[in-house]
């Protein structure tokens, strides 16, 4: 069973559901998908929201190994993504030599803000943690206590590992940064990442690969109606009631004499 955890952010609720649909629709193996919702993690994630935190899952992503009881493997993904390939191919890249595997971007944002006016932060290993293959047994340093007290840079720079040698590579196609990476044919991309802002936000409705996201949303909303048309039954006319003439009453003349 492939285990996938997706970061959940209330302002991007639709993004989570469309991403989950895109994963299920293309998967060739059974997949379980769990949202990392803070409302479900109140006893685990206790840290206050940081002013530079752009989403609710900025830190909760690192609790995945704990949620898996430090056993087996798991995939984490940001919610602002769209899977275009079979997630089983990503799952097949697991390598026991590593504690975590990521796309090693050399990403230095030029803009100061991103979606909803959030501050765009710049740091080493930017966006590495947006798609992660966790080898949970080798991530025991990610205890609830550590995740709740470590700085954002300690977490996102993977300073909880003994060495960067424990960070393995994933091919670039599994975390394609929309708006940064050069536009390529869809056959060359496995997973789109709308990192500046997804097309579900008005300001980014015409971003690259927006049509693919909206098409997937339509497939998620699919409802097949019955094609058989039922004819409405016509109501039978009520029979006119015949008034009984009272015995002895004068008959009404239909014509008047002049």
Convert the pLDDT of each residue in 205-215 to its tens digit: 999 999 999 99
| Higher pLDDT pick, 53 / 1 | 1
- Residue range 59-83: mean pLDDT, rounded: 97
- Residue range 114-118: mean pLDDT, rounded: 50
DSSP letter for each residue of 125-179 = TTTGGGEEEEEGGG-TT--HHHHHHS-HHHHHTTTTSS-GGGEEE--GGGSEETT
**What is the separation of C-alpha 128 from the centre of its chain, rounded to a whole number of angstroms?**
18
- Residue range 185-214: mean pLDDT, rounded: 95
Proportion of the chain above pLDDT 70, given as a percent? 81
pLDDT at 2: 98
pLDDT at 78: 97
Q: Report the distance separating Cα 159 and Cα 147, nearest Å.
A: 12
- Residue range 11-18: mean pLDDT, rounded: 96
Find the angle CA(2)-CA(39)-CA(216) to the nearest 5 degrees: 50
pLDDT at 163: 96
Please report which confidence band the pLDDT of residue 234 belongs to, taking 50, 70 and 90 as the band edges: low
Least confident of 8-17, 115-124, 187-196, 235-244: 115-124
Please report which confidence band the pLDDT of residue 53 belongs to, taking 50, 70 and 90 as the band edges: low
| Higher pLDDT pick, 190 / 252 | 190
| Higher pLDDT pick, 112 / 63 | 63
Give 169's strand partners.
102
The domains located in the chain, with CATH, are 2-220 (3.90.550.10)
pLDDT at 213: 97
Task: Please report, in angstroms and rounded to a whole number, the separation of the first and last CA atoms in the chain.
Answer: 100
Give 133's strand partners.
75, 101
Across 48-57, 109-118, 131-140, which has the greatest mean pLDDT? Answer: 131-140
Q: Residue 116: how many CB atoms within 10 A of its CB?
A: 13
pLDDT at position 70 over 50: yes
CB 156, CB 76: distance < 8 Å: no
pLDDT at 108: 66
pLDDT at 23: 98
pLDDT at 254: 52
Please report which confidence band the pLDDT of residue 27 belongs to, taking 50, 70 and 90 as the band edges: very high
Which token pair is 226? 């019955």
């Amino acid at each position: 069973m492939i285990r996938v955890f997706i970061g959940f952010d209330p302002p991007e609720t639709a993004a989570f559901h469309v991403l989950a649909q895109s994963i299920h629709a293309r998967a060739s193996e059974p997949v379980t998908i769990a949202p990392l919702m803070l409302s479900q993690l109140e006893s685990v994630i206790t840290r206050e929201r940081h002013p530079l935190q752009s989403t609710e899952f900025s830190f909760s992503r690192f609790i995945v190994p704990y949620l898996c009881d430090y056993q087996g493997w798991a995939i984490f993904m940001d919610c602002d993504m769209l899977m275009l390939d079979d997630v089983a191919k990503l799952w097949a890249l697991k390598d026991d030599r590593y504690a975590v595997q990521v796309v090693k971007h050399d990403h230095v944002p030029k803009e100061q803000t991103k979606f909803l006016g959030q501050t765009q932060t710049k740091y080493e290993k930017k966006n590495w943690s947006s798609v992660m293959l966790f080898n949970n047994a080798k991530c025991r340093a990610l205890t609830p206590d550590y995740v709740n007290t470590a700085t954002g840079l300690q977490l996102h720079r993977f300073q909880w590992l003994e060495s960067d040698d424990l960070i393995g590579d994933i091919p670039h196609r599994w975390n394609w940064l929309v708006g940064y990476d050069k536009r390529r044919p869809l056959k060359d991309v496995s997973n789109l990442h709308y990192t500046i802002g997804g097309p579900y936000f008005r300001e980014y409705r015409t971003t690259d690969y927006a049509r693919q996201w909206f098409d997937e949303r339509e497939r998620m909303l699919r409802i097949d109606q019955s094609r058989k048309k039922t004819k409405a039954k016509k109501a039978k006319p009520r029979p006119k009631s015949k008034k009984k003439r009272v015995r002895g009453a004068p008959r009404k003349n239909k014509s008047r004499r002049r």
